[in-house]
Every structure is written in structure tokens, then in C-alpha cells.
Structure 1
Amino acid sequence: MNINQDKHFITLLDHSVSKESFSLFLDENLALLATVPQPSADQLPKYYESDDYISHTDGKRTLFEKAYHFVKGIALKQKTKLILKYQNRGALLDLGAGTGDFLNAAKAEGWQVTGVEPSEKAREIAAGKNLTLYPDTANLPDHSFDVITMWHVLEHVPDVNSQIITLKRLLKPGGTIVVAVPNYKSYDANYYGEYWAAYDVPRHLWHFSRTAIEKLFGSHGMVLKDVLPMKFDAFYVALLSEKYQAGKMNYFKAFRIGLRSNAKAAKTGEYSSLIYILQNKS
């Protein structure tokens, strides 16, 4: 996807895998940041080759991983409850399904579930949970889903416009899309700057604001219905950011920064991560 690279925003490192340097450029019209250079499709998989890439593992080796999975269990219940506020039970597609925990939670709540996950490793783990995940959306039928969810996935997609066109193809008229992404306008993003873990370059190719989501989806007939906070993310991201900045996980400071970020966001709406509820109007 081509955007107007109006303004250099920040230069930062891939702290978790390659240690390579990348820049973010701002499209001022969209209020969207782009990672530059963007790795090619052939290059991108190597940046995910890490046992520490936690969404592709069920590992509970460290205190951090144990805490992550404990919080994830709480978040799964919140996610399934949230979706029912906007759409009655029916067919649900989760893109970027990871190891399948959200799909299993949705299935237990009565949804007919389908999942897509590019990572073969993650699909294998999901298979052990009696879930069959597709590697892509190519063979999924048109207009067959009431709800499509993307939990921290859209920022990984090379071409956002093409992805939205695919979402439009798969979603029923009047269906609901749930998109959760990091928010580079949050307090914790500003506080940590180049060490903010949710930039996560180059795995995160795009960095969204509310304006970007509303304009990008609006151009395809999607209406923004609601914006909701992901309050746990401020603590998780602050903890990783502390590791990148100071070389260790400072739990007490990260907790303090997470609290401060959420307190600021209670007034501004700029939480560390945001959930966007969008409706397909046609």
C-alpha cells in the first residue's frame, strides 16, 4: 500500500530479533505511520523467527510468560462478551488466530468459528486443541461471516487496503468487524519513544490512529461504530519497553507507567491499544 511519506517521525531498532534499524514516516492526511523500509514478502518471515514471539507459543517458561497467559485468560472472556454487544451469535472468523485460544473461547460461547493463521508452528499448536486453521483466506466463501475479528493483526498486514477489500468480500451485509491495534498517540508511546515495544518494527508495518482507521475503512463502506480501550496493554507494553530501554523488566516502574497511561487516556481516549468496532453498511 502506498502512502504519502510526508514527514519523518522516528528512527528505532528491531529490539527483539534482528537489531536492525527502521524509520517511521507519517502520512499527515491519514495520521498513519509507515515502517520504512518494509521487508519484502520473502524477507518478512525471518523477523518472526524467535521463541520469544509470544502470540505463536503457549510457553510458560518465565514469570513474564506466565503473567501473559494469566491476563490472556481474562481478556478472552472480555472479548467474547464484548462481541455479543454488537452482534448475535453466528459465524465468526478470526484472522491471525495464533494458537487458537480466542476461537476456542468463542466456540464455547456458541459461535461457529473459523480461523486463519499464517504461522505453521501456531497452526500445529492449534491442531492440538482440536482446531483446524487455514493458512490464508483464499478459499473462504464470500459474504459468509457475521463477525470478523483481528486482534493485533492489522498492523502486520503488508497492504491494508487489499486486506479491507478481503474483509468486505468475506463479511455479510450488516456484519461487524472488530480490529484491535496499538495506538501510537498513547501516553506510554510518547513516554518510551524509540523504545516503545508496540512499534515492534518491522513486524508492525503500520501504526494506526483513530483517524487512520476511520478513513481507511470508511473508503470501503465501513462505518466506525465504537472505540474501546484495552487497558491491560499499557502494562504489558510498558514492561517490554522497560526491557528494551533498561535491559531488564522493571515490574514496579512498568506498573506505574501503565497506570499513568490509563489515567491519562481516561481523559483523552488515547489508550495504549484500542478496539475499533466497524459495521459493513452494504
Structure 2
Amino acid sequence: MFHVKQKIKMIVKDHFLTGESFEIKKISKGVMSTFPKIDNKKLKPYYNSKSYYSHNTTSSIMSLLYSWSSRFMTKKKINLISSLLKNKDSLLDFGCGKGDFLLAAKKSGFDVAGIEFLSSLQKELNKKNIKFYEKLEQLSKSVSAITFWHSLEHLNDLNQTLILSRKNLKESGILIVAVPNYDSFDSKYYKCFWAAFDAPRHRFHFNKRGIINTVQKHGFKHLYNKPMFLDAIYISILSEKYKGSKMYFIKGLIVGLFSNLLALFTKQSSSNIFIFQKMN
């Protein structure tokens, strides 16, 4: 995919589940990747573990924080989509999970569908009566917008997915991508403990210029981007937990707030939402 010499940037562990170690290598300007490469079939167990989605069902501090921030961000996402699609048109969410965002969009008047390959999550989508596909190739008609809310970094077939996304978008359609930023303060502070590396589930890692260049070369125009300030707090708290800090919540909260403060000047937020438009 990228034809440059690969250099080991760091060794990171799967702090969330297995404790296995993985290499993160720079593969092009602004883009890193997780090694060894794992095909999608072998990667499924890293998602199918109940603990990966337990923050949705348990009552821990992290779960409550995640639940609140998720509801808050869903409203923000709907407002963003509504400002871009005035006619409440068709919307596809790639890696839609349990479908909470799509359900909210549906209630707001959008014609929604999702892409989800995990059978455990597909059951949740069926319960919510949300239409879904396992692959982009299965879409029967073009849509006005495609969203990747922290899902693009999970893909092995990054280039092909962007090619198909453009193909399945209507004329001047909107592509929205939310990804972590490894040039943020919290990334540099936590290094190999930074929760947003999330190896091996995150196959690719970007800085701001890296994600813009990656998407633009597939026939998209970058319109603008927006910071995701809550991500810095959640990721920093989780990173402190991975470090084994006794007061991980307080320490992570302080680091997350400081990262956000710096980002007001450096424009290097922990995560960002990038808005692109299909070039015809």
C-alpha cells in the first residue's frame, strides 16, 4: 500500500485484552501501522471478547464516563450531519457497532444503514431494526454521506475501503472520518501506554496531515476538521489505568484537560473529526 522503508517507532502491548506485544512502524509521512499484520478472520477474537464492549453495560467509573460522553457526542454528530445534509438524506455508518448513532440519526429523519461484520453486534442492529451490510460491496444504491467514527483505523484494506466509499457516494457526497492523532500531547506523554494505539485492533495510526493526505488521494477534498475534546480525557484516564496508576481517574483527567488546553494553541487534539467532499 505504502512504498517506503518501515522503521520501528515503538513496541506497544494489547493492554485491553491479551497483553501481547506489537510493533508500530512508520510507513509514510504522517502514517504508522501495526505489525504483524493480522487478517480479519484472525482479528475477530480481539473484538468478540465480552470485555471489549463491557463499558456499555457495567457501572464502573469508566463505563459511566463512556456512556455519558457517547450520548453527548451522538447529539454533536447528529448536529454536524444535519448541517451538512440539509435534506436529511441517506447516511451510511461504517463500523456502526450496536447502532446507537444510527438509531439517533433515524429518529432525526435520516435514511440510515450501517456496515458491521461482527455477528454479536449484528444481533443488536436487528433488535433496533437498523438495516446493515457486512461489506461496502453489498450496497444497492449510493448514499449522501458515509461516516467513519473511529473505525477507519481498524481496517486492513484501507485503500480499497476509501475507493469503494467514493464509488458509493452520490455526487458531491460527504465523507466524515474521526481518528486519533498521534501528534497530540497525550499521545506523546503516554507513549506506548497511550490507549488510542489500541493494538492490534487499530491497524493504522495517523497525524492530521497523514489522514488528510490518505483520504484526499482517493478523490476527496478536505473541507475542514473539528477537535474531539472529550476523547483526550477518556483516553488519558484509560492510559493511566493501563499504566497501573492508583489514582488513574484523577491523573488522567488532569492530563486530558492539559492536552485540551495545549490543543487550543497547537491545534493537535487527541482526536479530530475530518470532513471531506467527493470530487466529481
Pairwise TM-score range, normalised by the shorter structure: over 0.9
Match of 2:159 in 1: 161
* Pairs within 5 Å for 1:1-282: 1-28=1-28, 30-54=29-53, 58-88=56-86, 89-142=88-141, 144-246=142-244, 250-282=248-280
How far the C-alpha of 1:127 sits from its partner, in A, is: 1.9
Paired letter, 1:26 = K
Decide whether aligned partners of structure 1 residues 248 and 98 sit closer, same or farther in structure 2, where only a CA change above 3 A counts: farther
Q: What RMSD, in angstroms, separates the aligned Cα atoms of the two structures?
A: 1.6
Paired letter, 1:8 = I
Paired letter, 1:102 = F
How far the C-alpha of 1:208 sits from its partner, in A, is: 1.0
TM-score by length of 2: 0.95
Aligned residues: 279
CA contact (8 A) 1:5 1:25 kept: no
How far the C-alpha of 1:259 sits from its partner, in A, is: 0.5
Instruction: Report the secondary structure of 1:235's partner residue.
Output: helix
Distance 1:248 1:50 in 2: 26
Distance 2:147 2:35 in 1: 27
Paired letter, 1:268 = T
How far the C-alpha of 1:42 sits from its partner, in A, is: 2.8
Distance 2:51 2:5 in 1: 32
Distance 1:4 1:186 in 2: 24
Decide whether aligned partners of structure 1 residues 3 and 232 sit closer, same or farther in structure 2, where only a CA change above 3 A counts: farther
Paired letter, 1:243 = K
Decide whether aligned partners of structure 1 residues 85 and 165 sit closer, same or farther in structure 2, where only a CA change above 3 A counts: same
How far the C-alpha of 1:138 sits from its partner, in A, is: 2.3
- Percent identity, please: 35
Which structure shows the bigger proportion of residues in helix conformation? 2
Paired letter, 1:84 = S
Instruction: Report the secondary structure of 1:158's partner residue.
Output: coil
How far the C-alpha of 1:248 sits from its partner, in A, is: 5.2
CA contact (8 A) 1:146 1:175 kept: yes
Regions of 4+ moved over 6 Å: none
How far the C-alpha of 1:57 sits from its partner, in A, is: 7.0
1:3-62, Cα deviation, whole Å (9 max, x unpaired): 42443211111111221111111134x3101111111233211222322213x8741342
Distance 2:35 2:216 in 1: 25
How far the C-alpha of 1:2 sits from its partner, in A, is: 4.1
Instruction: Report the secondary structure of 2:182's partner residue.
Output: coil
CA contact (8 A) 1:225 1:277 kept: yes
How far the C-alpha of 1:247 sits from its partner, in A, is: 5.4
- Which shifted more, 13-22 or 257-266? 13-22
1:124-172, Cα deviation, whole Å (9 max, x unpaired): 1222222232222222035x11110010000000021111001011101
1:184-232, Cα deviation, whole Å (9 max, x unpaired): 1100000000000000001000001222222222212101101111110
CA contact (8 A) 1:230 1:271 kept: yes
Which ranges of structure 2 fall in alignment gaps of 5 or more residues?
A: none
Which ranges of structure 1 fall in alignment gaps of 5 or more residues?
A: none
